[in-house]
Structures are given as structure tokens and as C-alpha cells.
Amino acid sequence: IMEGEHSLQHFSPEVIVQDQSNRSAISLLPPFVLFHGTSDYSIPLDA
């Protein structure tokens, strides 16, 4: 995962939105969906 599993807390969108300290900034974002292609082997397709 990017720079290794130890960096997951820094880069994971799921982890970032669950962090309560980010709530005020996240509430300003429009709805969006994250996609990744079939050539992306850093995460399983069903994740």
C-alpha cells in the first residue's frame, strides 16, 4: 500500500473520513465515489 502498510493511516480515504478531527472539513466535500482500475494490484478488486 503506497509506502507500505505503516502509511495506511496517512493515505487511506476510509481512515481519514473516520477521524473525528476531520469532520468539519469533510462536511464541505461533495458526494463522490472512489474507483480503481483492474491493473491496480495494491488492493483487491472486491475491497
Each residue's pLDDT tens digit, 1-47: 567 777 877 888 888 889 999 999 999 999 988 777 788 777 776 76
Note the pTM of the prediction, 2 decimals: 0.50
Q: Please report the pLDDT score of residue 3 as a whole number.
A: 73
* pLDDT for the residue numbered 36: 74
* End-to-end CA separation in angstroms for the chain: 13
pLDDT at position 47 is 64
pLDDT at 11: 80
Q: What is the pLDDT of residue 30?
A: 93
- Residue 25 is predicted with a pLDDT of 93
Of the candidates 9, 12, 18, which has an alpha carbon nearest to the alpha carbon of residue 34?
12
